[in-house]
Amino acid sequence: MGGEAGCAAAVGAEGRVKSLGLVFEDERKGCYSSGETVAGHVLLEASEPVALRALRLEAQGRATAAWGPSAGPRA
């Protein structure tokens, strides 16, 4: 996941947002765990000037877990 992530949809922008992306501070990091701080920059390209008072980002993710004899050795 490190590096750059993008989002095609922008809610409430009425078509004025051309692109919305994230550039993570640690580009080598591949994933984040619960409770970790995610740092980076938001890249927003608009088709016309847009006055913003705030920008709210919400993230979703997924988790995997393995246990038992078939889970394999731990690193």
Give this prediction's pTM: 0.50
How far apart CA 3 and CA 35 sit, in angstroms, is: 20
| pLDDT over 70 at 50, yes or no | yes
Does some domain include residue 19?
Answer: yes
Hey, how many other C-beta atoms are within 10 angstroms of the C-beta on 17? 19
In a domain, 14, yes or no: yes
Whether 23 is in a domain gets the answer yes
Q: Please tell me the total count of domains within the chain.
A: 1
Percent of the chain with pLDDT over 70: 73
Mean per-residue pLDDT of the chain: 75
Residue 2 forms part of a structural domain: no
Structural domain span for residue 45 = 9-27+39-51
